[in-house]
């Protein structure tokens, strides 16, 4: 059994940076919180919890003082940021610079009188945060959206694939007079998708490793499964030899929030199986 592993599997720059900042913060501040898990990977979140980085689902859950609040790589809604500042929490802003750039574009477009359409997942924390920067002058794109505005600005979620963006643009363009697009799709996402696609074309089966709650990992899975049978797994424990009967080649891909060690573990398992 041949195993092909993508070169760009594992943490992206923004996730690495956020984890580093959070660890540095907790070493100094002792207790730190993040709104939602710091990254979409259960194993890593558990490790971080042991170090004192606690995810909460609502900032009102925190009634302690002198704590540090870490903003995840996805960024945060500006009103929540204000709220955190008003509560005098120490803030460590680990918003990925690429997400921050997208937030600035949303703010700029809205300020210039464009109605902002965010192309992405409406429930994703990055998208919720982006919406906040338009100060009510924005909406998340949905299938067959009727656009009432003649002047629109488009900002894609950083982890969107280009096909989705193109699809949305082609639907919106006939409805408007003026359209301004900022391409905020992150190249880390694009690289992972391109590589996974190349590998998927030459193997019998794909395995995509990473959190089921991770948007970019789930997207990789959806893209790969259009080409080849694909498993989306979070841990090596989900694999069993009978899943590979008759399989001669396997491709291994992972999202931007999957630690290298988790990928290596799966690679080792597959290598053992093929001996
Ligand atoms: Fe940032 Fe791109 Fe990662 S936007 S968080 S470097 S996938």
**Domain residue ranges of the chain, discontinuous segments joined by +:** 2-10+188-274, 13-94, 98-185
Other Cβ atoms closer than 10 A to 182: 17
Give distance in angstroms: CA of 91 to centre of ligand 1.
20
Of 10, 11, 13, best ligand 1 pocket probe by most atoms within 8 Å of the beta carbon: 13
Share of the chain above pLDDT 70, in %: 100
C-beta of residue 257 within 8 angstroms of C-beta of residue 39? yes
Q: Decide whether 2-10+188-274 matches 13-94 in CATH topology.
A: no
**Candidate CATH numbers 2.60.120.260, 3.30.230.10, 3.40.50.11270, 1.25.40.420; the one for domain 13-94:** 3.40.50.11270
pLDDT digits (tens, 9 = 90+) for 250-275: 999 998 989 999 999 999 999 998 77
pLDDT of residue 128: 96
Residue 63 and residue 200: Cα distance in Å, rounded?
49
**Candidate CATH numbers 3.40.1010.20, 3.20.20.140, 3.20.20.70, 3.40.50.1860; the one for domain 98-185:** 3.40.1010.20
Query: Residue 233 forms beta bridges with which residues?
Result: 209
Q: Is 232 annotated as a binding residue?
A: no
Q: Is 224 annotated as a binding residue?
A: no
65 has pLDDT over 80: no
Residues 104-132, mean pLDDT to the nearest whole number = 97
Tell me which of 27, 82, 126, 198 is the catalytic residue.
126
pLDDT of residue 213: 85
DSSP states of 160-209: --HHHHHHHHHHHGGG-SEEEE-----HHHHHHHHHHHHHHHH-SEEEEE
Binding site membership of 158 for ligand 1 (Cβ less than 6 Å): yes
Work out which ligand 1 atom sits closest to the CA atom of 12: 3
Residues 35-58, mean pLDDT to the nearest whole number = 90
C-beta of residue 233 within 8 angstroms of C-beta of residue 258? no
pLDDT band at residue 54, thresholds of 50, 70 and 90? very high
Work out which ligand 1 atom sits closest to the CA atom of 158: 4
C-beta of residue 152 within 8 angstroms of C-beta of residue 176? yes
- The strands making up 249-254's β-sheet, listed across from edge to edge, are 2-5, 249-254, 205-209, 230-233
CATH for 2-10+188-274?
Answer: 3.40.1010.20
Q: Is 126 a catalytic residue?
A: yes
Binding site membership of 13 for ligand 1 (Cβ less than 6 Å): yes
Residues 158-171, mean pLDDT to the nearest whole number = 94
Top mean-pLDDT range of 10-14, 96-100, 214-218: 96-100
């Amino acid at each position: 059994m041949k195993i092909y592993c993508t070169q760009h599997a594992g943490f992206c720059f923004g996730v690495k940076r956020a984890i580093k900042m959070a660890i540095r913060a907790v070493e100094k501040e002792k207790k730190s919180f993040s709104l939602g898990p710091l990254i979409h990977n259960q194993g890593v979140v558990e490790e971080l919890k042991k170090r004192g980085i606690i995810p909460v689902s609502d900032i009102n859950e925190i009634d302690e003082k002198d704590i540090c609040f870490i903003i995840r790589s996805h960024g945060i809604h500006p009103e929540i940021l204000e709220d955190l500042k008003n509560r005098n929490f120490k803030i460590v802003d680990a918003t990925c610079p690429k997400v921050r750039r997208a937030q600035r574009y949303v703010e700029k477009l809205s300020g210039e009188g464009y109605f902002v359409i965010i192309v992405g997942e409406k429930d994703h924390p990055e998208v919720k945060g982006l919406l906040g920067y338009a100060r009510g002058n924005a909406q998340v794109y949905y299938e067959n959206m009727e656009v009432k505005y003649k002047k629109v600005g488009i900002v894609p979620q950083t982890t969107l694939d280009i096909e989705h963006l193109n699809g949305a643009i082609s639907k919106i363009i006939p409805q408007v007079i003026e359209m301004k697009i900022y391409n905020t799709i992150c190249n880390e996402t694009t690289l992972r998708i391109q590589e996974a696609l190349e590998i998927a074309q030459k193997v019998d089966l794909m395995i995509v490793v990473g959190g089921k709650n991770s948007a970019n990992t789930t997207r990789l899975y959806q893209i790969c499964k259009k080409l080849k049978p694909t498993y989306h797994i979070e841990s090596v424990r989900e694999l069993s030899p009978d899943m590979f009967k008759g399989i001669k080649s396997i491709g291994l891909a992972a999202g931007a929030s999957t630690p290298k060690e988790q990928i290596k573990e799966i690679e080792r398992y597959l290598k053992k199986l093929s001996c």
